[in-house]
Amino acid sequence: MSGRGAPDGERLARIFLSRVIEPGDEVAGRWLREHGAEEVTRRLREGGTRLPGVTDKRWAGLLARAERAEPERDWAMAREAGVRFVCPGASEWPAQLDDLGDTRPVGLWVRGRPSLRMWALRSVAVVGARACTEYGAHVAATLGAGLAERGWVVVSGGAYGVDGAAHRGTLAAGGATVAVLACGVDRPYPRGHTELITRIAHQGLVVGELPPGDHPTPSRFILRNRVIAALTRGTVVVEAAYRSGSLVTARAAQRLGRYTMGVPGPVTSGLSAGVHELLRGDAVLVSDAADVVELVGEMGELAPDRRGPVLPRDLLDPAAARVLAALPARGTAAQDEIARGAGTTDDEAVARLYELRSLGFVERHGDGWKLTRQALTSVRQDHGQC
């Protein structure tokens, strides 16, 4: 059942069914599991007794679709467009899609040269709002580039906003990316992303459940998201409102036992509300590609420790640091006041003050001591005032 040779009976049956059955149809998935693709195809083509689980009206609708289906023509159109059809169980089929059970795709139409199975083994989904902010677009592009630099494949839906930014960031870094479409892979959608999706097809992979020429519908967008979730090791949501389709992807990932991650945004932004709701649940907060890889990668692929900058005062001996902290932010102080504030003797305080003067932290004014400009800057930075 390879995706490239002449279609055998199983593959031709599944090509036929991709035209007749809607993506994610659980009842039809049960038929396939119980009877096999060729038997289900025969029953639909012959128009006999309906299969269990559907009404007479629904069965009639399937039969009407079956009458118009031309799998040989779909196969020829696909070959002409450089598209192959990959069946479950084929060498290129990503086994993790089987986790979808009876909602597993009948098969996948694939445009592009790399092996889908191999790429999916080390892949992460980056999804989010179509009408994203500049912040969302920047984060998505940076995540795409960072994941690419670490050898990860970035999977998204090819849509405007976060999806497009993630794809572009990955491509700009010379990385691998996969676009999962809710329409035929020979007809890029949205139209405004024709150039981007064509570029992905040349450098990566464009994947979909629907046969050549088929168009997207709102339900197909939603159902497409389960494929993105199942295909990847984890899903990162960059920006999403409460009713965003990208939350459907994240929840599908959670149901499948995949990692679910979210990038926080401003609490004042409605486009961050859905992400924050995920983060209140089981999703993990991430801020960059290193965080993502630490979660989904192999043992030892750790993100760097998150620390603020090392300030000059951080390098002081503890006793000197206590004396420095005893000086007022403004004005001067006598050595006995400084000693009391530092909890030490006058002699110790004087010794530490001269040490601090040699390092540029304090200066002497008559009988008193005060902080230098350098020390004041260091104190402000330490308290987040700069």
CA 22/CA 223 separation, integer angstroms: 9
CA angle at residue 93 from 89 to 94, to 5 degrees?
120
pLDDT band at 298 (very low <50, low <70, confident <90, very high): confident
The predicted structure's pLDDT at residue 191 = 92
The predicted structure's pLDDT at residue 169 = 97
The predicted structure's pLDDT at residue 384 = 47
Q: Which of the residue ranges 5-9, 24-28, 301-305, 370-374 would you say has the lowest mean pLDDT?
A: 301-305
pLDDT tens track for 227-263: 999 999 999 999 999 988 999 999 999 999 999 999 9
pLDDT tens track for 51-90: 999 999 999 999 999 999 999 999 999 999 999 999 999 9
Query: Greater confidence, 84 or 367?
Result: 84
Residue ranges, CATH 1.10.10.10, the chain: 312-382
The position carrying tokens 């040269």 is 113
Q: What is residue 334's DSSP assignment? A: E
Percent of the chain that is helix, strand, coil (3-state, to 5): 50, 10, 35
The predicted structure's pLDDT at residue 108 = 98
Residue ranges, CATH 3.40.50.450, the chain: 112-296
* Whether the predicted pLDDT of 1 surpasses 70: no
The predicted structure's pLDDT at residue 330 = 86
Q: If DSSP codes are grouped into helix, strand and coil, which group holds residue 85?
A: strand
CA 108/CA 93 separation, integer angstroms: 9
Write out the H or E segment, with its range, that includes residue 44: helix 37-46
Domain 112-296 fold: Rossmann fold (3.40.50)
CA atoms within 13 A on the CB side of 22: 15
The predicted structure's pLDDT at residue 3 = 45
The predicted structure's pLDDT at residue 297 = 87
* Whether the predicted pLDDT of 5 surpasses 70: no
Q: Which residues contact 355 (CB under 8 A, 6 or more apart)?
A: 320
CA 76/CA 327 separation, integer angstroms: 83
The predicted structure's pLDDT at residue 386 = 41
Closest CA to 296 of 150, 71, 124: 124
What average pLDDT does the segment 125-146 reach?
A: 96
What average pLDDT does the segment 196-203 reach?
A: 96
Considering the segment(s) 312-382 as one domain, its CATH architecture is: Orthogonal Bundle (1.10)
Helices and strands (H and E) in the chain: how many = 17, 12
